[in-house]
Amino acid sequence: MLLACLTYRDRFMNQFSFSDIVKFTNDIVIVTTVDDPKIVYVNKAFETLTGYSSEDVMGLSPRILQGPGTSEKTRQKIREALSKKEPVRAEILNYSKKRGEYWLDLQIFPLKDQNGNVSYFAAIERDITERLNNEQKIKESEARLRSIISGMSEGIVVQDKSGFIETCNDAAESILGLSKDQMMGRTSIDSRWMSVHEDGSPFPGNEHPSMVTLKTGESQNNVIMGVRKPDETSTWISINTRPIYVNQSEAPDAVVATFHDITAQTVANQLKSEFISTVSHELRTPLTSIRGSLGLLNGGVVSDLPSSALDILNVASRNCERLIELINDLLDFDKLSAGEMELDIKAVSLNEILKQALDSNQPYAEKYEVEFVLPVAKASLVVEVDEGRILQVLANFMSNAAKFSPKNSKVFLDFEPLKGDRVKVIVKDCGQGIPKEFENRIFDRFSQADSGVTRNQGGTGLGLAISKALIERHNGDIGFTNNEPQGSIFYFIIPLKQIDGVV
């Protein structure tokens, strides 16, 4: 077999010349003499890429093609290899007649004759200009990205698939009070974090949003966590996590966590809640006493009061009721914001809730000469809710509708089943509707449409914000639409338990 191969080799070498072998390659091939190298051969690729013909360069030193950008260190490396007649590889800058300077991956090999003597050097050159330009662009892009990430006020931490921290930015070090070296190799399960929930209870490491994302592949948003820093102070952070996938893997290969410091905001909210709670409780006791006294006076306990005095007592009573309403709303909103409001969830007939709402709020409507109207008998729907809190939402909708409806008009209560075992409860009035500029703020706390009519009607500006929070606690939705040509429809949607039949 070996003899046959040698025979084929000799036959091949005799039949084909060196130029036949290299003329079709896309790489540049240059052959030079050994001593004081001179070009004796170039292939077609050389002429195509450089713009020089073989006649242009024949007998010249290959150094005339080198651009000035090739470092002296690289030039010295090539000279030493050639002097020792050894192979060498380097990246050099050459000059093209067509397009100026371009980078080459250069490989030089000694060619030996039949006696083993090196008589020529063969250089194979590949154009790597585009590759190097792309690499440079990537480096510049990475440098810009690192600069942006480093300058961000938001902390960034990257963890591998096992949860170990791989890298972080400067903001993460500042927020957490740890250097990058101190964080490297830690996981979210590490007990040294001493993490806590907003209520002060321990935050288990396996519930950390990064670990949840690595386990489930699902992003986590706005997770609040308290972390103990090395200096024994606490910092509060709001965390978002996103999974990182590589090569279309099914499970996350890493997770990136971004977080920002909300310590000042958290402390301010705690102080605000404590202040509201303290002031509200301190005000409630004297107001209850004042309310009782005013009630006795209005009830005629003191006879023969002049009509002007009675008018003043009525004004005082109304203002006292408004203060008590404001205090109750503040306490409710404070509890809802802190997640401390407990709901008494029970299965209740929706028809019964609407009937109670009508009975309890009808006297209020009569004050504005408005009538509340229930729908004709419908299939009785059963919902699982805190009945008192749903009545509170309905009272808010209905009182607003009564206040802003014209005299002798009607306010309609209704409901309709929706797909997905949900029901939509509606309060529709014939009033002035919601001003366009106020629509996006209507459920914000302390928000009231800025009009003379609205201000005259009073209100705490908390009712709709509380209603929204209560409905969301019931896993529901709340909203409104302007009812053309006049009036508005306020509604909430809550899960439906079942249909019992027709009332």
pLDDT tens sequence across 248-258: 788 899 999 99
Cα gap 289→287, rounded to integer Å: 5
Assigned token pair, 272: 């605000």
Per-residue CA distances from 144 to 138, 230, 483 (Å): 10, 32, 53
Assigned token pair, 141: 């892009």
pLDDT at 502: 39
- Sign of the dihedral defined by the CA atoms of residues 399, 402, 403, 404, in that order: positive
- pLDDT per residue as tens digits for the range 88-106: 998 888 877 777 788 888 8
Could you tell me if 414 and 398 are in contact, meaning their C-beta atoms sit under 8 angstroms apart? no
Cα gap 418→182, rounded to integer Å: 55
pLDDT at 484: 62
Q: What percent of the chain has pLDDT over 70?
A: 86
- Which residues, 6+ apart, have CB-to-CB distance to 243 below 8 Å? 213, 214, 217, 218, 219, 252, 254, 255
Neighbours of 306 (CB within 10 A): 8
Query: Which residues make beta-bridge pairs with 89?
Result: 107
Could you tell me if 219 and 210 are in contact, meaning their C-beta atoms sit under 8 angstroms apart? no
Query: Which residues make beta-bridge pairs with 28?
Result: 125
pLDDT at 390: 93
Assigned token pair, 384: 């699982």
Q: Is 475 helix (H, G, I), strand (E, B) or coil?
A: coil
Cα gap 229→176, rounded to integer Å: 6
Least confident residue range of 57-61, 264-268, 336-340, 347-351: 336-340
* CATH 3.30.565.10 corresponds to the domain 346-502: yes
Which of these, 325, 320, 314, lies nearest to 461 by C-alpha position?
A: 325
Q: How many CA atoms are closer than 13 Å to the CA of 16, on its beta-carbon side?
A: 9
Cα gap 447→461, rounded to integer Å: 5
Neighbours of 485 (CB within 10 A): 7
Stronger pLDDT, 413 or 459, i.e. the higher one: 413
**What is the phi/psi pair of residue 244, to 5°?**
-120, 125
71 sits in the region (left: phi over 0; alpha: psi -120 to 50; else beta) called beta
- pLDDT per residue as tens digits for the range 404-454: 899 999 999 999 999 888 999 999 998 888 887 777 788 876 565 544 444
Cα gap 233→237, rounded to integer Å: 13
Residue 501 pLDDT > 50: no
Could you tell me if 82 and 108 are in contact, meaning their C-beta atoms sit under 8 angstroms apart? yes
Fold of 152-261: Beta-Lactamase (3.30.450)
Could you tell me if 391 and 357 are in contact, meaning their C-beta atoms sit under 8 angstroms apart? yes
Cα gap 162→433, rounded to integer Å: 56
Q: 419-448: buried (b, 16+ CB within 10 Å) or exposed (e) per residue? A: eeebbbbbbbbbbbbbeeeeeeebbebeeb
Which of these, 75, 94, 80, lies nearest to 132 by C-alpha position?
A: 94
Residue 241 pLDDT > 90: yes
CATH assignment, 2-133: 3.30.450.20
Highest mean pLDDT out of 121-125, 252-256, 321-325: 252-256
Cα–Cα–Cα angle for 432, 436, 439, rounded to 5 degrees:
95
Cα gap 276→333, rounded to integer Å: 10
Which of these, 327, 388, 322, 379, lies nearest to 360 by C-alpha position?
A: 388
Q: Is 271 helix (H, G, I), strand (E, B) or coil?
A: helix
pLDDT at 13: 47
Q: H or E stretch including 29? A: strand 28-33
Cα gap 103→93, rounded to integer Å: 5
